[in-house]
A and B are shown apart, each in its own frame.
Chain A
Amino acid sequence: GDSVTQMEGPVTLSEEAFLTINCTYTATGYPSLFWYVQYPGEGLQLLLKATKADDKGSNKGFEATYRKETTSFHLEKGSVQVSDSAVYFCARRAGSARQLTFGSGTQLTVLP
């Protein structure tokens, strides 16, 4: 079935460091791909998305490129801030189904 595999955390970085969180997905169909962010005690917020191969989603300095050849959608940011500390979830949505399949989440802590 559909699945999403995320890099396990926790990830701890110093402020202004480069961030990569890996995400791979099963290649069934032509899924749309998403990154969501969850701040402590809150619901999830959409960070960025890509709906077809080679699309790049970007928001708030974060980027992810839909790579069909490697079935990946890695999240990157060139210079993280303390305020980026949160849990990040990769997700896929395939075809006409509206349900999302989520990865297990990656906890990011950015130290000043």
Chain B
Amino acid sequence: DGGITQSPKYLFRKEGQNVTLSCEQNLNHDAMYWYRQDPGQGLRLIYYSQIVNDFQKGDIAEGYSVSREKKESFPLTVTSAQKNPTAFYLCASTLGPNGNEQFFGPGTRLTVL
């Protein structure tokens, strides 16, 4: 079955440590996205990538970094520079230039202790 996988589902880290969240898709989608979701709020775009080896900052990119070395993978690193990293992180992808629907992964809940 095609889809988006995110791992792990729950992640705990100590303050000051960098942590990398995994996102893999086997849908052959061109574009991939990372969102952050906080309680009672909508999704805010962190980074997105429309093609391999290219990515763009979203609305809240500070303290985060990404890479897109392969079409199917778009890992997100939460660095120690991110002031409030505890949140639910969602990865999504879109098919082609005219693809309307974004498909979402199940999310990773990051808790920084």
Give the B-binding residues of A (Cβ under 8 A).
4, 6, 32, 34, 36, 41-46, 49, 51, 89, 93, 96, 98-100, 102-105
List residues 13-69 of chain B with CB under 8 A from any CB of chain A. Answer: 31, 33, 40-43, 45, 48, 50, 58
- Which residues of the other chain, A, contact B110 by a CB distance below 8 angstroms? none
By beta carbon, the residue of chain B nearest A102 is B42
A-B contact pairs, 8 of them (CB 8 A): A43-B4, A46-B103, A51-B100, A98-B99, A98-B102, A102-B42, A105-B41, A105-B42
User: What is the size, in residues, of chain B's interface with A at 8 Å between Cβ atoms?
Assistant: 26
Taking the closest CB of chain A, its distance from the CB of B44, in whole angstroms, is 8
B78 within 8 A of A: no
Of A32, A99, A104, the contact of B41 (CB 8 Å cutoff) = A104
A43 and B100 form a contact (CB under 8 A) = no
Taking the closest CB of chain B, its distance from the CB of A104, in whole angstroms, is 4
Roughly how many angstroms separate A96 CA and B43 CA in the complex, as a whole number? 20
B42 and A43 form a contact (CB under 8 A) = no
B1 within 8 A of A: no
B8 within 8 A of A: no
- Which residues of the other chain, B, contact A41 by a CB distance below 8 angstroms? 107, 109
Roughly how many angstroms separate A98 CA and B43 CA in the complex, as a whole number? 15
B100 and A93 form a contact (CB under 8 A) = yes
Roughly how many angstroms separate A58 CA and B109 CA in the complex, as a whole number? 31
- Which residues of the other chain, A, contact B92 by a CB distance below 8 angstroms? 43-44
B106 and A43 form a contact (CB under 8 A) = yes
Of B43, B58, B100, B105, the contact of A89 (CB 8 Å cutoff) = B43
Of A43, A51, A99, A102, the contact of B107 (CB 8 Å cutoff) = A43
Taking the closest CB of chain B, its distance from the CB of A101, in whole angstroms, is 8
- Which residues of the other chain, A, contact B107 by a CB distance below 8 angstroms? 41-43
Q: 4 new A-B pairs (CB below 8 Å) besides A43-B92, A43-B105, A102-B42?
A: A34-B100, A46-B101, A98-B48, A105-B41
